[in-house]
Amino acid sequence: MSLAVMNLVAMNLVGPAAAQTAPAQTSPAQTVPIQKAPIQKGTAVSAHASGPFDVTITPQSADDKVGDPTVGRMSIDKQFHGDLEATSKGQMLAAMTEFKGSAGYVAMERVTGTLRTPGGVRSGSFALQHSGTLNRGAAQLSVSVVPDSGTGQLAGLAGKMTIIVADGKHSYDFEYTLPDAP
C-alpha cells in the first residue's frame, strides 16, 4: 500500500493531523474538575477523563514475507494531556477498497502514565484496541480498553474512548470504571 493511500486512510478515520509524520500541535490542556464522591473499598467507580493529545502516525515499510501488499502498516506514537497524562505506542493495519471513501483499520496501543481519578492520581498502563471503518465517507470508530490489560494502580481498568478531531486538533473523551484503590 502506498504512503499516499495510508495517509488517506489515517486522515479519514482518525483525522487529518494524524496522517502527518510530525506531531499535531494542540492548545494547553483544559480539564474539567472531577467531583470526589465517597468510595467504598472494593467497588468499581465509574468516571470520565478528557483532554487533548498529540499523535504521530508513521508508515512502516512493507515486509515481502508477511501479509498482503494492499494492507498498510503504521506505527502510532501519542502524548496524552489533561486527565490522562501518558504516552502510547502502537501499530495500525489499514486497507483501502476500490470505492473512494471506503476503508478500514485496526490498531493496538499500550498507554503508560497517570490517570486522574475521583480517588486521586493513579499510575500504570493499559492497552487500547481500535476498530474503524469508513463506508463511502461515513466513519465509525470503536476504541476500547483491552480486558485485564491494566497494570499497577490501573489494574482492573475498563472503558471506552472517543477520539474527537476538530479544526485539525485531537482530543479524547474516556468513560471508564476502575476498582477502588487497595
Nearest-angstrom CA–CA distance, 114 and 123: 4
CATH at 156 = 2.40.350.10
pLDDT of 13 > 80? The answer is no
Q: Which helix (H) or strand (E) holds 5?
A: helix 3-14
Q: What is the pTM of this model?
A: 0.77
Q: Is residue 41 part of a domain?
A: no
What is the number of domains present in the chain?
A: 1
Alpha carbon of 9 to those of 79, 108, 114: distances in Å? 21, 16, 30
The Cα 144–Cα 79 span in angstroms is 18
Is there a domain that residue 171 lies in?
A: yes
Output the pLDDT for position 127: 98
**3-state DSSP assignment of residue 148:** coil
- The answer to whether residues 158 and 177 touch, using CB atoms and an 8 Å cutoff, is yes
Residue 34: half-sphere exposure toward Cβ, Cα within 13 Å: 21
Tell me if 38 is assigned to some domain: no
Within-domain flag for 99: yes
Lowest mean pLDDT among 13-17, 26-30, 113-117: 26-30
CB distance 106 to 93 below 8 Å: yes
If one counts every other C-beta atom within 10 angstroms of the C-beta of residue 39, the result is 16
What average pLDDT does the segment 24-47 reach? 52
Using the predicted structure, report yes or no on whether residue 73 has a pLDDT greater than 50: yes
Question: Is the alpha carbon torsion for 74, 123, 142, 10 positive or negative?
Answer: negative
Per-residue pLDDT band for 71 (boundaries 50, 70, 90) equals confident
Please report whether residue 31 resides in a domain. no
DSSP at 120? E
Domain encompassing residue 159 = 3-20+53-61+69-179
User: Could you tell me which residues are beta bridge partners of residue 158?
Assistant: 177
Residue 137 lies in a domain: yes
Domain membership of residue 7 (yes or no) is yes
Residue 166: its H or E element: strand 158-166
Tell me whether residue 44 is in a domain: no
Q: Greater confidence, 64 or 41? A: 64
- Residue 182: its pLDDT value, please? 59
